[in-house]
Amino acid sequence: MKNRGREKIPGAGRSSFALVEQDRVFGELELHGGMRFLDLGCGRGEYAIEVSEIVGTRGMVYGIDLWEEGIHQLRKEALARGSKNIEALVADAEKKIPLADRSIDICFMATVFHDLVLANTFKGALQEISRVLKKEGILAILEFIKIDGPPGPPLSSRLTPEEIEERVILYGFERAGLKEVGPYNYLIRFVKR
Whether residue 139 has pLDDT greater than 60:
yes
**Domain annotation covers residue 5:** no
Q: Which domain holds residue 149?
A: 22-192
pTM, full prediction: 0.93
What's the pLDDT tens digit per position in 153-167? Answer: 999 999 999 999 999
**Domain annotation covers residue 172:** yes
Structural domains counted in the chain: 1
Angle at the Cα of 24 (from 20 to 81), degrees rounded to 5?
75
Residue 130 burial by Cβ neighbours in a 10 Å radius (0-12, 13-18, 19+) = buried
CATH (domain of 64) = 3.40.50.150
**Domain annotation covers residue 87:** yes
**Domain annotation covers residue 7:** no
What's the pLDDT tens digit per position in 92-108? Answer: 999 999 999 999 999 99
Q: How confident is the model at residue 15 (pLDDT cuts 50, 70, 90)?
A: confident
